[in-house]
Amino acid sequence: MDTVFIDRDEELNRLASVKPPAIVLVKGPRGIGKTALLKEFCRRLSQEGKKHVYVDCLKVLRPRQLVEEAIDWVASWELRLPERPEVLRRAYRARRPDEALETFFRFCYDIGVDVAILDEFTTLIRRFSRRRPYASADEVASHMRSLMESFPCLWILCSTSMEDVYQLCESARKPFARAIDIAFEVLPLAFRDIEKLVRSVNPRLDDESVKIVSLASCGNPFYAKAFAYSCLPGEEPKASVKRTLEAGAIGQYFEALFASLSPPEADVASHIAMGYRRYRDLELEDILDLPQALRGLMRKGLVGKTVLSRKHIIYWLKDNAFASWLAMRGIPGKGSWPFEKVWEQYLGFQGHFARFLRSLSKPKEIQGVRLGPYKDVRVKREAVHAAGESRDLFYCSYEPKKPQRDPNLERLSERKFVVFYHQPTKDLRTALEKEGYRVLVLEARRFS
Ligand SMILES: Nc1ncnc2c1ncn2[C@@H]1O[C@H](COP(=O)(O)OP(=O)(O)OP(=O)(O)O)[C@@H](O)[C@H]1O
Ligand SMILES: [Mg+2]
């Protein structure tokens, strides 16, 4: 790997604390760092002398490749293999997909693995389901499940496709519905960790560029690396972010993601990105199959829903970078957003914070401040001078859902409220607090 591995201690400890036999599901959007996390976990297992297998199922195009990948992986760390890899490949040959699954499990059993990881397992299930003797993805998943249960070790299943995870694991009466012991979603990295990553990818960047690129990444390491790589010397950091979003690696990924949506889903996603957040606003736009499109987007993990009251339901795009891309692309006949507006709404710090406030459906405590659900959030940026320092501050005013009777809830609309991206100096903090500001330092991680 070309960069250093950053943070993720929480997730690694969580994986390490699972007592086998167990089946763990790891999910999360594209590029959030699932594979990097699992590979780091494998590295730690090697250090502890634990036997493990990791298979990237995207590489399994033919049934026999499942066990071949596993043999290659084990050969990379186990020096005392019973046979050479070529001999093992012959011994564990399989042609049909059902044989491939059985052979793979037999190999894991023969080696005596403690941990077996199937990265992008839903892709394997989809691919195998198209081959005889299987007739559906459910059949492959049922077979896999019974094999996993008959060979007790720590199974880790990982997938990017939220929709497939929903269909195979989460929806009731599905093969994995009750088989998963622990499921967790890999969250965005905190701002300071993303900054470390950005600096390691492109050490020439100045502090301001590192900050801009880190904000634009929304905590996603794949986005952070793409933005950091594409920063040209002397170029405004925001200009390179715009370029990468429009035409770079990220733009291409969003293009493919957009093309994978059904026409009503694509239409709804574009509308949400451009501020049509309430169900009623969307209804007025005459979108075909609106409820179905919203359900589809939520299953794909692209849209979140906040119910403030029966009449007041808000939808929001979970990925601010994708929302930015959609708003810049626009809707035919309704125009598009300029990059500055996109930055204010989604990519800049105020955008992240506003999204966080909008996503609250129940009160949440952060650094001793209880924040409540809000009907509307308006964030404004202004310069504040205190303790001889002049800084850009984000001042949020909003309309609470109902008049707040709970005295513990912060009434942000009544208080001057300041959100920092970085810890302010002690003097600045004291000066602000003296003037009645409430100071909060937020991390990208909290916004998910
Ligand atoms: N904790 C981390 N420290 C450093 N780099 C990271 C970290 N997590 C992810 N990356 C880098 O970010 C990129 C995307 O990560 P990775 O491939 O692990 O994501 P993923 O969730 O598996 O994505 P996909 O859905 O495409 O499989 C990779 O280049 C990886 O090296
Ligand atoms: Mg991956």
User: DSSP secondary structure string, 354-415?
Assistant: HHHHHT-SS-EEETTEEE--EEEEEEEEEEEEETTEEEEEEEEEEEESS----TTB--TTTS
Beta strand pairing call for 154-159 and 115-119? parallel
Residue 268 has a pLDDT of 97
Range of the domain at 420: 363-447
Residue labelled with tokens 């959007």: 29
If one residue of 5, 35, 302 were mutated to test the ligand 1 pocket, choosing by the most ligand atoms within 8 A of its CB, it would be: 35
Could you tell me if 34 and 122 lie in one domain? Answer: yes
Could you tell me if 34 and 152 lie in one domain? Answer: yes
Q: What distance in Å separates the CA atoms of residue 53 and residue 64, rounded to the nearest whole number? A: 16
pLDDT per position as a tens digit, 13-46: 999 999 989 999 999 999 999 999 999 999 999 9
Q: Considering only residues 17 and 384, tell me which one the structure prediction assigns the higher pLDDT.
A: 17
pLDDT per position as a tens digit, 254-267: 999 999 999 999 99
Rounded to the nearest whole angstrom, what is the distance from the C-alpha of residue 253 to the centroid of ligand 2?
A: 14
Could you tell me if 113 and 26 lie in one domain? Answer: yes
Could you tell me if 243 and 372 lie in one domain? Answer: no
Could you tell me if 29 and 170 lie in one domain? Answer: yes
Select from 129, 160, 185 the last residue of a domain.
185
Q: What distance in Å separates the CA atoms of residue 78 and residue 96, rounded to the nearest whole number? A: 28
* Nearest atom, ligand 1, residue 189 CA: 1
* Nearest atom, ligand 1, residue 8 CA: 1
pLDDT per position as a tens digit, 38-56: 999 999 999 999 999 999 9
Rounded to the nearest whole angstrom, what is the distance from the C-alpha of residue 52 to the centroid of ligand 2?
A: 18
Beta strand pairing call for 115-119 and 52-56? parallel
**410 pLDDT higher than 70:** no
Select from 230, 254, 278 the last residue of a domain.
254
Residue 388 has a pLDDT of 61
In a domain, 352, yes or no: no
Residue 387 has a pLDDT of 59
Angle between the N-to-C axes of helices 349-358 and 320-329, in degrees from 0 to 180, rounded to the nearest 10: 110
Provide the number of structural domains found in the chain: 4
pLDDT per position as a tens digit, 60-85: 999 999 999 999 999 988 777 788 88
For the chain, give the number of residues. 448
17's CB contacts (< 8 A; 6+ apart) are: none
Q: Which residues line ligand 1 (CB under 6 A)?
A: 1, 3, 5-8, 28, 30-36, 160, 197, 221-222, 225
Residue labelled with tokens 């916004």: 447
Rounded to the nearest whole angstrom, what is the distance from the C-alpha of residue 208 to the centroid of ligand 2?
A: 30
Residue 398 has a pLDDT of 58
Tokens standing for 36?
Answer: 């990097």
Could you tell me if 127 and 169 lie in one domain? Answer: yes
Q: Considering only residues 67 and 166, tell me which one the structure prediction assigns the higher pLDDT.
A: 67
pLDDT per position as a tens digit, 195-230: 999 999 999 999 889 989 999 999 999 999 999 999
Rounded to the nearest whole angstrom, what is the distance from the C-alpha of residue 17 to the centroid of ligand 1?
A: 22
Average of per-residue pLDDT across 415-425: 67
Select from 254, 269, 301 the last residue of a domain.
254
Could you tell me if 37 and 173 lie in one domain? Answer: yes
Helices assigned H by DSSP within 202-343: 207-217, 221-230, 237-246, 249-259, 263-273, 279-284, 290-299, 320-329, 339-342
In a domain, 212, yes or no: yes
Q: What is the DSSP string of 145-208?
A: HHHHHHS-SEEEEEES-HHHHIIIIISTTSTTTTT-SEEEEPPPPPHHHHHHHHHHH-TT--HH
Could you tell me if 175 and 195 lie in one domain? Answer: no
**448 pLDDT higher than 50:** no
